[in-house]
Amino acid sequence: MEEQAIITAPAANKYNLDEEQEKKEILRHYRALLRALRPKIKKGDKELVRRAFEIAADAHKTMRRKSGEPYIFHPISVAMICVEEIGLGVRSTICALLHDTVEDTDITLEDVEREFGHEISRIVDGLTKISNVIDTNTSQQAENFKKILLTLTDDPRVILIKLADRLHNMRTLDSMKREKQLKISSETIWVYAPLAHRMGLYNIKTELEDLAMKYMEPETYKDIAQKLAETKRERTRYINEFIRPVKDQLIKGGFDFEIYGRPKSIHSIWNKMKKKGVAFEEVYDLFAIRIILDSPQAKEKEDCWKVYSIITDEYTPSPERLRDWLSNPKSNGYEALHTTVMGPEGKWVEVQIRSRRMNEIAEKGLAAHYKYKEGNSDEDRFDKWFGQIREVLSTQDTDSVDFLQDFKISFLAEEIYVYTPKGDVKMLPVGSTALDFAFSIHSAIGVKCIGAKINHKLVSISHVLRSGDQVEIITSNKQKPNEDWLNFVVTAKAKSKIKDALKEVRRTIAEEGKYILQRKLEGIGAAFNQINIDTLVGFYKYNSQLDLFYQIAIKANELKELKEFNVLGDRLEQPKPQKPLHEVPAVESAPHHYNKKDSELIIFGESSDRIMYTLAKCCNPIPGDNVFGFVSTGKGLIIHRTSCPNAASLLANYGHRVVKTKWAKNKEISFLTGLKIIGMDDVGVINKITSIISGDLKINISAIAIESNEGLFEGSIKVFVYDKEELEELVSRLKQLNGIHSVDRFDVG
């Protein structure tokens, strides 16, 4: 079962329902599910669904969720999401009802197969394997994730049901402990939201991102939600003003359509604020206008372009913001026309144009894609994607985190379209280089690639491709892959093939190191055997004997310490005390040692008087920030902000190494942080800023840099503060100065 804590009966029932009322409530949910499923039910289906419900209800009868409700509400809710929000049918409903039974109850896969047949038992088996995917030790995690992906390419319904399961767990996360909320939210943002996006389930992807943010960044989430609520009336007025002339023209044009404005998700607004370094008030596209046409499939494209023409006659478009996914749909099936136009009051507005069929694919993703496929050869983009995944899985042997990271970049990112010299289309993830393209054609071409011609111009193998490029690869038999290649390829296939080729080169070079070691060991009277090789691998802290031989061959290790070893018989014994070959580099900022009296950081569950920790350089936390502790190999406890760029990856991949942390009040230690200030370049403004910092608030300044340009200045100031409260007080005071446009915190690198 996924991280959804349960308690067995008897348990405190927060719902305060007696047994009879509970049964009625369960039946009410079940009947609502049947109503939603009615259009898809054929003869005999109702009995099968009822049987699945009865088996699940009986199997989970003693179990309750953390909220106190009967556990059976969860599988029914997951089935409801599958039917109503993803558009799946009877078989998926049965699988959703049974999805936790094999793992959590006495029901076996054989029982499921006997009752419902092989297809359903295979999907339930896939769902059971998935549930442990991101929560075991890391090497096992890669294997589990590969199993999921193989199941996905075999039967995509497994992932769709899993996404429904995750969505319901995110909707009911309130009753979980804070550290569980953080861990589950991180997994969601790291793997499940991108998977939902790739499956074409935009609504589910958006909700997963928003819910994850609600737990990972509660203050920012509440702040944006409140501002959206406050500006709703003003937005509605503006949308109506924008829509009015367009609507009139569409009616004149004889279109059957629906037009409305919808707000952007909180998560996407937050992303825009971070990416562009702007405040909420400066995010211009807080909403998008959507136009949905009822057009026959043969006329869809034509009608969408006609509507585009009507809009751009009314409002001036931004030429670089046109997105044509009609001619080239995304690989997850998404088709639409997006443009950004200058609306009333000088505001940019995004307009999305699509047909009813395209809209269903945008909302129901993969399920709708297959419904409309009907042998149309141009609609096999999912199949191509699944084929690429299968190819990588068959050769992939890297360890877990590498594999998951490569998978995310290669298969969950947005894609670009590039062309071969003959005009064939290749789909690659954003950021792909000419070398990625070479490997996508064939690994034999990749390893010999020395350059490329992009649109007939010569470029290097590391040149980043753009959508629409035509690429011709240039090869040479003398070319050999090197380690640097791994720094600029992004596709899993290219990385995997380069690593294979490098291993082969390494193996050949290592042979020489093997002979050197043999001669040296025999020279001191020790045997060249596995025991002695393992002793040296351990002493020099290498990962394998291949590494040892290779380092000897390239003269990076000249075995100077060998004379300090004792030889007993023909066996080596390490010198005592062991002299390390490598000095461990010092951590950038010295760890803080505190006792309980003046502890800056309280770590729950620790009874030690001395806590050693380091503040992460990637996000520079200060007291008052939402933080978590991460137990790092070699560096002890490292404190990260929950909004740190690396947080989602750390929490999702290494949940078992995360320590729950909180700040204690302490005014003895100060922390370095930075502020970016933008304002009018007025006489004395710098003096006013520094007098507030140093004079009024007695805060020490570490560094200050000011640049002035055409009446505006941009300054970055690094200051030492005791905690977040002091920083917020400083920001508030600076914002009150005349002519100051914005004051934003930045992470001091």
For the whole prediction, is pTM greater than 0.75? no
Q: pLDDT tens digits, residue range 129-186?
A: 665 544 434 444 455 556 556 656 667 788 888 899 999 999 999 888 888 888 888 8
Token pair of 512 as six digits: 């020489």
pLDDT at 105 over 60: yes
Please report the pLDDT score of residue 269 as a whole number: 87
If DSSP codes are grouped into helix, strand and coil, which group holds residue 222? helix
Is the distance from CB of 601 to CB of 594 less than 8 angstroms? Answer: yes
pLDDT tens by residue, 311-354: 999 999 988 888 888 888 876 778 899 999 998 888 888 999 99
- pLDDT at residue 437 above 90? yes
In angstroms, the CA 269 to CA 350 distance is 14
DSSP state letter for 656: G
- Average pLDDT (600-605) is 42
Q: How far is it, in rounded angstroms, from Cα 133 to Cα 744?
A: 38
Catalytic choice (25, 84, 104, 744): 104
Residue 672: strand, helix, or coil: strand
Going by their DSSP bridges, the two strands 571-573 and 566-568 should be labelled as antiparallel
More confident residue, 632 or 375: 632
Half-sphere exposure of 721 (CA within 13 A, CB side): 25
Residue 609 has pLDDT above 70, yes or no: no
- DSSP structural state of residue 462: T
Q: Tokens 């294997």: give the residue.
A: 143
Average pLDDT over residues 620-624: 82
Q: HSE of 653 in the Cβ direction (CA atoms, 13 Å)?
A: 19
Q: Report all structural domains of the chain as residue ranges with CATH numbers, in order of start.
A: 6-224 (1.10.3210.10), 225-370 (3.30.460.10), 499-573 (no CATH), 592-663 (no CATH), 671-746 (3.30.70.260)
Tokens of 291: 């136009």
Where do runs of H (alpha helix) occur along 69-217? 73-81, 90-98, 101-104, 109-116, 118-130, 138-154, 157-171, 178-187, 193-198, 202-216
**Residue 14 pLDDT:** 45
Q: How far is residue 380 from each of residues 354, 369, 413, measured CA to CA in Å?
A: 20, 9, 19
Secondary structure element (H or E) that encloses residue 272, with its range? helix 266-276
Name which of 487-496, 512-521, 566-575 the model is least confident about: 566-575
Rounded Cα distance, 288 and 265, in Å = 11
pLDDT at residue 376 greater than cutoff 50: no
Give the span between the Cα atoms of 331 and 328, in whole angstroms: 9
- Of all residues in the chain, what percent carry a pLDDT higher than 70? 80
pLDDT reported for residue 589: 37
Which pLDDT does position 507 carry in this prediction?
Answer: 85
What does pLDDT average to over the chain? 79
**Given a cut of 80, is residue 564 above it in pLDDT?**
no
**What distances in angstroms separate CA 320 from CA 302, 323, 324, 417, one per listed residue?**
22, 9, 11, 17
Reply yes or no on whether the pLDDT at 702 is more than 60: yes
Rounded (5°) CA angle 531-537-540: 140
Q: What would the DSSP string read from start to end of 207-219?
A: HHHHHHHHHHSHH
pLDDT one-digit tens code per residue, 206-228 = 999 999 999 988 998 999 999 88
On whether the CB atoms of residues 200 and 362 are closer than 8 A, the answer is yes
Is 486:498 a contact under the CB 8 Å cutoff?
yes
pLDDT tens, position by position, 472-489:
999 888 888 888 898 889
> CA torsion, points 561, 562, 564, 570, in degrees to nearest 10?
160
The rounded distance, in Å, linking the Cα atoms of 625 and 637 is 17
Q: Over range 572-600, report the average pLDDT.
A: 42
Q: Which of the four pLDDT bands, split at 50, 70 and 90, describes residue 7?
A: very low
pLDDT of residue 136: 39
Residue 104 falls in the annotated catalytic set:
yes
Contact (Cβ atoms closer than 8 angstroms) between residue 687 and residue 733: no
Furthest-apart CA atoms within the chain: distance in Å: 99
Which member of 22, 45, 84, 103 is catalytic? 103
Tell me, what's the pLDDT at 421? 86
Mean pLDDT of 501-506: 83
Give the β-pairing of 425-429 and 415-419: antiparallel
Phi/psi-derived region of residue 634, left when phi > 0, alpha when psi is between -120 and 50, beta in every other case: left
pLDDT tens readout for residues 258-317 = 999 988 889 888 888 887 777 887 776 778 899 999 999 899 999 999 999 999 999 999
Are residues 83 and 36 in contact, defined by beta-carbon separation less than 8 angstroms?
A: yes
**Six token digits for residue 537:** 């691998």
